[in-house]
Structure 1
Amino acid sequence: MDSLRQDLRYAIRTLTRTPGFTLAAGLTLALVIGANAVLFSAIHAMLLRPLPFPSPDSLVRVWCEQDSVTHASVSPPELLGWREHSKGFSQLAGFGRTSLNWTGTSEPERVRAVRITPNFFSVVGVRPAHGRDFREEDAPAGGDTSAVLVSHGFWQRALGGGADVVGQTLVLNGRSHSVVGVLPEDFSFPEFSEETDVWVPEWQDPQQHGNHYQSVLGRLAPGTTLEAARADLERVAEIIGEPEPGQSRHTVRLKGWQDHLTANSRDTLWMLWAAVGFVLLIACANVANLMLVRTMSRQRDGAIRAALGASQGRRLQQSLVESVLLSLFGGVLGVLLMLWGLELVRTLLPASMLRVAPLELNGTVLGFSALLSVGTGLLFGMAPAMHASGMNVLPLLRQSGSAVGARAGHPLRSALVMVQLALALVLMVGTGLIVRSLQNVQAVDPGFDAEGVVAARLTLAPDTYAEDTRKRAFFDGIAERLMARPGVEAVGFINDAPLGGSGSGGDFFLEGGSASPSERYYTEYRVASPGYFSAMRIGVRQGRDFGPQDTEKSAPIIIVNEAFVRKFLGGGEALGRRVRLGWSEEQPFREIVGVVEDVRHETLTEPAKPESYVPFAQYPLRAMTMLVRTHGPSAAALAALREEVKAVDGEQPIYDLLPFTERVEKMLLRPRATTRLLAAFAVLAVLLAGVGVYGVLAYSVSQRTRELGIRMALGAHPQQVLGLVLGQGLRLTAAGVGVGLIAAFGCTRLMAATLYGVEPFAPDIFLGVAVALSVISLVACWLPALRASRVPPSVSLRAE
């Protein structure tokens, strides 16, 4: 311990004597250690730390798998059959997002709600903080519930946070509901991006075959594996039989709940951490080179210490202590940078998961930062430490101080620079692929024009608007009033607007086909008004748009998209063909009267699916999205929407008001943030690699000053000296770029899942990066080479 304290004091004195070196190396290490710690905090929160529920590893998401849909929602009869016969699950619960209109207050409000089976919170393992949980009788068969649970946030924000909340009445969708409990403050449901306000129990109708709307969460029975549970549900599928006559039996898909919740972020986080790991290695090589130069300049001091009895291990320890102390200094600065970096990384992660797994500077992250700092110090300090401990003492004692430095060249310095160049090239290639991918996403034609469109969501109360005539009168009335506004170009409404995060679909039957499962097809269902296609500028390719002639009494019609025609009609004639939706004898055949262009409905990167549009007048729904195309500012259009809704029904809440361009921007938010972070890491890597090349050549020139002077005194032209130094740098560059290209070819194949519209091996990107890095390296070589060629021979010959 005494020797360690002595080495620590010596290291502190040495580092404080060279504040420029200490600060430069410390800031370099701070950037890379801080970035690694930020990414670790995200990975720890999302992927490594268990969900904050009892026995989270046993929580599993369950889907049914149909012929056309791999992750389909579950029908009530299937859920009931699984619950009754399954042995692999101790419990299974259903849930589904919805929204409710809260009235009876000064201003109507839309509340975010989830309909659940009464055993849902028992499955999750959460008990109300106040009141009680749901009971089976809270969801009466064939009836509507009168009980609700509220979140802690809703209790505080909307209900005053009083202790008498249990028993309080809420008027939701025109019906009175009694609050039976309040959920804990720390509970948040991570399935949805928005926090849930109200939880409503729902009865499962055993006759609703084919009505797939339930999401299912289960808890594995003790000792049951995921695969065993899946096999058990497959067995249950044999017991409960076919969901509908003529329909093939559904299979089952299972996935751990945490794996499901983090699926969209996992690849991005690992890719970013790999990128920042590359930058860390480059920084280590850079600082190792700096430390190696310092060690070479102090070789005579080290030789004197050895001559006075310092063992090889003691000299190794002294060098490593200095490296680790420098790295810990960088680590402290890096933790301060983390506070800024955490905000950047939050944009990459789903808001739903951040509520249950917040990014924070906790003990685990600080411990990781400390270990990383020590490990980094040992990594970049090993090369100079081994050099210092293994030097030959007697020759060094016989030499003068300058001679020591002049003959202290070390091939490891060149190797470290080649490593930096190779790693920088891999990172630049990966960044180039991600940038190209983002450009391809931004260039995607979504099939609609979002500029100038504002949107708002409306959900009518079921009691107040039970009759179809009232639904038509409400939405048609708002559309007419908005069209009378100056600057409004078009008004339309649809149940599922593009990029809204929701959708619905089902089977349909082509007229003239056989009644066999092979003739059953799957399409996305949309209910739209006249004016919707105009408001979104979705082109009508064949036939016509919906119009005022399409009423509840007119012939049933339908409009399909081009993907529907390609997939189900072989690209042939669509107009006049007839389809029946829902595979029900009660549904009429509908004639195709139009074909519209494809729309990217779910995401910008997924191809358009077959879609069918039914006129609102013939199939009115309660929940619709209003879309207004205007020539004026968005704020004025949103205000007009509010005013007209209030004029038609002052008790009707309106929500999700926003310009439609914000939906598109939201889709691009995460890929843009990922690209910016990768680009920042790549720039830092290139700068570090360039500094490394410059440092090696500058030091090499200082070592060879006398040699170069002799060459010039004997007649060598300055251009020859320039070429001599440049040749050394170009050999380093060629080796580093060559190794980097080979490594990049292997590494980019792992990125295939995160790319869009670009292959992992894009020759133009590989070549462009190699040329760019070579040019940067050439500039770094040019400066010391130019300085060497301009030193007068008389000065060079006196350099001893």
Structure 2
Amino acid sequence: MFGLRNLVAGLRALARKEQTEREMDEELRAYLVAAVEDKLRSGMSQEKALRAARVEMGSVEAAKEEIRVAGWEAAAESLWQDLRYGARMLRKNPGYTAVAILTLALGIGANTAIFSLTYAVILKSLPVPNPGELVRYTSSEPGASDLSLSGPVYDALRKHETVNRDILAWGQADFAVEENSVMTRASGALMTGNGFRVLELRPYLGRVFGESGDVSGGGPDGYQAVLGYSYWKQHFHEGRAVLGHPLSINGCAVTVIGVLPPGFDGLIAGERAEIILPLSFEGPQWHAPGNNWLTVIGRLKPGESLQSAKANLKATAAIVREEADPTHLFLYGFGSPFQFAVESGRSGRSFLKVDYSRPLLVLEILVGLLLLLCCANTALLVLARMSGRFREFAVRSALGAARGRLIRQALTEVGLLAAAGLAGGIWLGWAAAQSLVAVLGGIGESPSIDVTPRLAILAFAAATSFLSALAAGIWPALRVSRVDPALDLKQGEARIAKQLGAWIVPAQVAVSVTLLVAASLLGGTFLHLLLENSGFQTNGVVMADVDLSAAKLTGMQRAQDVSQIVEAVEKAPGIVAATLLSSPPLPDGWAAAYYFSLGKHGEIHSDMHTWPAFISPGYFAAMGTRITEGRAPARADQNGSAVCVLSASAAAYFFPNEDALGQFVYSGGSDPTNDGKDVDPKNACQVVGVAEDARFMSLREAAPRMLYRLAAAGDWGTSFTLAVRSSGTENGAAALRKAVHDVVPTAFPPTLFTFNELVNSHLQRERMLMMLSLGFAGIALLLTALGLYGVLARSVTLRTREIGVRVALGARQQDMFVLVIRDGVKLVLLGGGLGLAVSLAATRLLRTLLFGVSATEPWMLIGVVAVLLWIAFPACYIPARRATRVDPMVALRHE
């Protein structure tokens, strides 16, 4: 209550100053009258009583000042005066103000952009009640972690895990949606009927399905769908009539029963679920023990923790594995059983998190260094500005201003700069984050990542702004507050000429060198990955992801149409070769298979990490992969027994010291005990050729052992990839688009992309790191050059008298030039050496992101030094030229 009274009284004093002053005058007069009356009663005369009362009370103005200072409003009013004075001083120097604000906005904006992306990809929680209660179950096998789970594993987990209220399963899916005879694609998900209850997610409109709707056929009312908010807004214009609206999804009748709240896009970061259907919507083939496609999330019971979930899983893992795979063909494959793990499910699942956790950490460090550089540059500006006001601060100190008040005044001006930089930084950060999201997208798409400024991001930006103001202003404020009126009224700013930039510029150079080394390493990595021999010839290749599901073709008709599409493409003008692929190279995910071969003496060569690719004739000509032995599969081979082509490494592995041509490779499924025990001709394919090794799986890794198996005409499903090599990408794209439309008019328009676009998409992480690090390094070098120039130019100005004396005593112009250049070179060499030392020590953080480059390579060190000198030369040369033009007579007369 006392605090509230003080607050109210302070607000009243600030709002009604004149009335408050009158009330204080009246109170003081009343006190004086009371004191006089008291003394009159003691026997004093009127004159003596008045005199004594005034002596006891003291100065009226001093008493009023004591009353003012006692309340919090005095400090607020004093701060307001400092703000007004600081704003007035900044308005008087628009050039200085604009440069300082832009510098801080750049640093704050860069940090805000990277943090926005980090928050969205790594830190953001699911928009559901109590996300900290969620846990996520995963599996792993040798060489792979954070894998999805299968339907039987989910069922066993739900049965035996006792620390959860319940567990849901979620699978991402793409749907063909038909409405009013118009077919469209939609990204969506399948979820168990208990999912909404586990998530405690309430619909924005209508209702959600439950376990009674997650049965074969959808129950009595058929299958029911819940729409995402953005999908409802885009396709149904936020109409409530959507409830009960019928849709045809993948050829099945579905009824819309609800709309999810805004902000919930699904359980997998970056992959929006526009339509959610019960898990039973998919057929039983999706629930085989080896089909790992489900994200499994549970909600802990009250009092349980992640540690108790881990302990419970450890105790039940063997039982879960046995119940889910009693045949031991899937979860016990390749000689090592699958391992289960549980982790926090607060953020759902994020494939982007796996790929970008380390890059984002590196970028956070780089933008932190950039912010430090911006603060250093601003500190130089503030220090130069404050040094010109030394006499002002000396006068204020001589008139009684306390050191704390001088520090507060200096920091207030920097705080105003930082506040303006914060406003600009938030806008720059949001725009930059949006651009980064576009960079993270794949072919023709951008991930569903929301980087809209929210409370956490704004709080981060505000904290960054506060720290920037502190870092940029504290040293100049402390420096100018240590004024000596007797000395500074005479010498003023000349006293700090030698201190100006003595340590700030070397720090700037060190930070710039660190950023430049990082940019060189990351840029070199990108170029190596792009230019390294991949086993493909990417120029002139166009691909199309074809989806015939909308046409509802039978198996025989589909096989005929697929063959006609390929023939139509091959006959198009400018087409060199065409082929079908089960998946394009550089896939996001792929499953290895188990193969073995029998040597001439009966020895067995088995491998559980051979990667199969199903192809059609023309693959090697279309993709530019050379056949080194034998021949490529031909169309005639599709009518006989199965044939294949091995990569060079696979041929050497399966047939060491033998000719692979004419030999057979057998598929062993996932059973490692099948080494030659079950040589079934139906599982064999004959080797007709050997191809050069190609980095089919990833450009970042060595070429895997590949088995290219020729698929029969009837083996292709409704979705496949069609690739062509043509004399021009326009010819290839037009041929693909026309062939699909002419043969199957009702098919979805194919998604077209060039092989080079596929490579660029595959290397988007490396490209983002290269572009941002080069941008940060460029900005750092520019700021460092400006800082160095400013320090040297200011130094020449402050040392005009010294230079004049030197010239008057016989120093040559060349000597003055060398004097300034030497000062600049010292600063650059000191900072450059420190920066190289820090860079070499810090490269271990980049080690997992590098490919084909090393921090100790001579070309890189020479390049860094050359760029540094190239930037430093003009920054030193211009002030040095000014020093040679000082007229000693003018300089001495002025002094």
Normalised by the length of structure 2, the TM-score is 0.80
Q: How does 1:50-449 map to 2 (within 5 A)?
A: 50-67=125-142, 69-102=144-177, 105-128=180-203, 129-135=205-211, 138-140=214-216, 147-152=223-228, 153-154=230-231, 163=240, 165=242, 169-179=246-256, 181-189=258-266, 190-191=268-269, 193=271, 195-197=273-275, 199=277, 201-202=279-280, 211-222=290-301, 223-226=303-306, 228-230=308-310, 232-239=312-319, 240-241=321-322, 243-244=327-328, 247=333, 248=335, 249-257=337-345, 258=347, 260-261=350-351, 262-349=353-440, 358-397=450-489, 399=490, 403-411=491-499, 413-449=501-537
- In 2 relative to 1, CA 687–72 (structure 1 residues): closer, same or farther, beyond 3 Å? closer
Higher deviation after alignment, 19-28 or 129-138: 129-138
Matched, 1:609 2:609: no
Matched, 1:562 2:642: no
Checking the alignment, whether the CA contact within 8 Å between 1:96 and 1:214 is kept in structure 2 is: yes
Q: Rg larger in 1 or in 2?
A: 2
Letter aligned with residue 434 of structure 2: E
- In 2 relative to 1, CA 607–95 (structure 1 residues): closer, same or farther, beyond 3 Å? farther
Checking the alignment, whether the CA contact within 8 Å between 1:535 and 1:629 is kept in structure 2 is: yes
Q: How does 1:465-544 map to 2 (within 5 A)?
A: 467=555, 469-511=556-598, 519=606, 521-544=608-631
- In 2 relative to 1, CA 354–306 (structure 1 residues): closer, same or farther, beyond 3 Å? farther
Checking the alignment, whether the CA contact within 8 Å between 2:244 and 2:256 is kept in structure 1 is: yes
Q: How does 1:769-780 map to 2 (within 5 A)?
A: 769-780=864-875
Equivalents in 1 of 2:779, 2:749: separation in Å? 47
Checking the alignment, whether the CA contact within 8 Å between 1:110 and 1:655 is kept in structure 2 is: no
CA offsets 1:146-191 (integer angstroms, 9 cap, x no match): 6252534555656787656555554444444555555445431235
- In 2 relative to 1, CA 49–232 (structure 1 residues): closer, same or farther, beyond 3 Å? same
Equivalents in 1 of 2:312, 2:606: separation in Å? 30
Letter aligned with residue 46 of structure 1: V
Higher deviation after alignment, 101-110 or 496-505: 101-110
Equivalents in 1 of 2:796, 2:100: separation in Å? 22
CA offsets 1:44-71 (integer angstroms, 9 cap, x no match): 3333332223333444444332345445
Checking the alignment, whether the CA contact within 8 Å between 1:496 and 1:624 is kept in structure 2 is: no
Higher deviation after alignment, 494-503 or 91-100: 91-100
Checking the alignment, whether the CA contact within 8 Å between 2:545 and 2:722 is kept in structure 1 is: no
Higher deviation after alignment, 615-624 or 313-322: 615-624
Checking the alignment, whether the CA contact within 8 Å between 1:737 and 1:774 is kept in structure 2 is: no
Equivalents in 2 of 1:224, 1:410: separation in Å? 64
Equivalents in 2 of 1:142, 1:547: separation in Å? 47
Equivalents in 2 of 1:579, 1:756: separation in Å? 35
Q: CA deviation at 1:493?
A: 0.8
- In 2 relative to 1, CA 36–104 (structure 1 residues): closer, same or farther, beyond 3 Å? closer
Letter aligned with residue 451 of structure 2: L
Higher deviation after alignment, 435-444 or 713-722: 713-722
- In 2 relative to 1, CA 87–566 (structure 1 residues): closer, same or farther, beyond 3 Å? farther
Equivalents in 1 of 2:239, 2:785: separation in Å? 64
Equivalents in 2 of 1:718, 1:44: separation in Å? 57
Checking the alignment, whether the CA contact within 8 Å between 1:127 and 1:184 is kept in structure 2 is: yes
Normalised by the length of structure 1, the TM-score is 0.88
Checking the alignment, whether the CA contact within 8 Å between 2:804 and 2:891 is kept in structure 1 is: yes
Aligned residue pairs total 794
**Residue 187 of structure 1 aligns to a residue in which SS?**
coil
Equivalents in 2 of 1:385, 1:122: separation in Å? 58
Q: Which runs of 5+ in 1 are unaligned?
A: none
CA offsets 1:459-482 (integer angstroms, 9 cap, x no match): 455995564x44432311221222
CA offsets 1:361-413 (integer angstroms, 9 cap, x no match): 3344344433433332222221221122222222234x2xxx43334435253
**Residue 475 of structure 1 aligns to a residue in which SS?**
helix
CA offsets 1:619-653 (integer angstroms, 9 cap, x no match): 71314434242546545544543443344344433
CA offsets 1:737-790 (integer angstroms, 9 cap, x no match): 122122222223212233222234444323421342134224322222222123
Residue number in structure 2 paired with 1:707: 802
- In 2 relative to 1, CA 656–151 (structure 1 residues): closer, same or farther, beyond 3 Å? farther
Matched, 1:10 2:98: no
Letter aligned with residue 83 of structure 1: R
**Residue 690 of structure 2 aligns to a residue in which SS?**
strand
**Residue 636 of structure 2 aligns to a residue in which SS?**
coil
- In 2 relative to 1, CA 211–407 (structure 1 residues): closer, same or farther, beyond 3 Å? closer
Checking the alignment, whether the CA contact within 8 Å between 1:327 and 1:373 is kept in structure 2 is: yes
User: What's the RMSD between the two structures over aligned residues?
Assistant: 3.7
Q: CA deviation at 1:547?
A: 1.7
Equivalents in 1 of 2:185, 2:256: separation in Å? 17
Q: How much identity, in percent, do the aligned residues show? A: 30
Checking the alignment, whether the CA contact within 8 Å between 2:270 and 2:447 is kept in structure 1 is: no
Higher RCO, Cα 8 Å, sep 6+:
1
Equivalents in 1 of 2:858, 2:667: separation in Å? 50
Residue number in structure 2 paired with 1:33: 108
Letter aligned with residue 650 of structure 2: F
Checking the alignment, whether the CA contact within 8 Å between 1:453 and 1:627 is kept in structure 2 is: no
Checking the alignment, whether the CA contact within 8 Å between 1:237 and 1:250 is kept in structure 2 is: no
- In 2 relative to 1, CA 501–791 (structure 1 residues): closer, same or farther, beyond 3 Å? same
Equivalents in 2 of 1:298, 1:39: separation in Å? 38
CA offsets 1:242-296 (integer angstroms, 9 cap, x no match): 6526844322244445374423223333322322222222222222223223333
Q: CA deviation at 1:617?
A: 0.8
Checking the alignment, whether the CA contact within 8 Å between 2:265 and 2:273 is kept in structure 1 is: yes
**Residue 359 of structure 1 aligns to a residue in which SS?**
coil
Equivalents in 2 of 1:420, 1:570: separation in Å? 58
- In 2 relative to 1, CA 25–141 (structure 1 residues): closer, same or farther, beyond 3 Å? closer
**Residue 558 of structure 1 aligns to a residue in which SS?**
strand
Equivalents in 1 of 2:791, 2:239: separation in Å? 70
CA offsets 1:62-81 (integer angstroms, 9 cap, x no match): 43323454454434333332
Equivalents in 2 of 1:626, 1:180: separation in Å? 35
**Residue 652 of structure 1 aligns to a residue in which SS?**
coil
Equivalents in 2 of 1:763, 1:23: separation in Å? 41
Higher deviation after alignment, 16-25 or 47-56: 47-56
Q: CA deviation at 1:731?
A: 1.7
- In 2 relative to 1, CA 798–224 (structure 1 residues): closer, same or farther, beyond 3 Å? same
**Residue 413 of structure 1 aligns to a residue in which SS?**
coil
Equivalents in 2 of 1:145, 1:75: separation in Å? 28
**Residue 593 of structure 1 aligns to a residue in which SS?**
strand
- In 2 relative to 1, CA 94–525 (structure 1 residues): closer, same or farther, beyond 3 Å? farther
Q: Which runs of 5+ in 2 are unaligned?
A: 1-74, 672-677
Letter aligned with residue 710 of structure 1: V
Residue number in structure 2 paired with 1:698: 793
More helix by share: 2
Checking the alignment, whether the CA contact within 8 Å between 1:291 and 1:384 is kept in structure 2 is: yes
Equivalents in 2 of 1:318, 1:577: separation in Å? 85
- In 2 relative to 1, CA 772–111 (structure 1 residues): closer, same or farther, beyond 3 Å? closer
Checking the alignment, whether the CA contact within 8 Å between 1:297 and 1:405 is kept in structure 2 is: yes
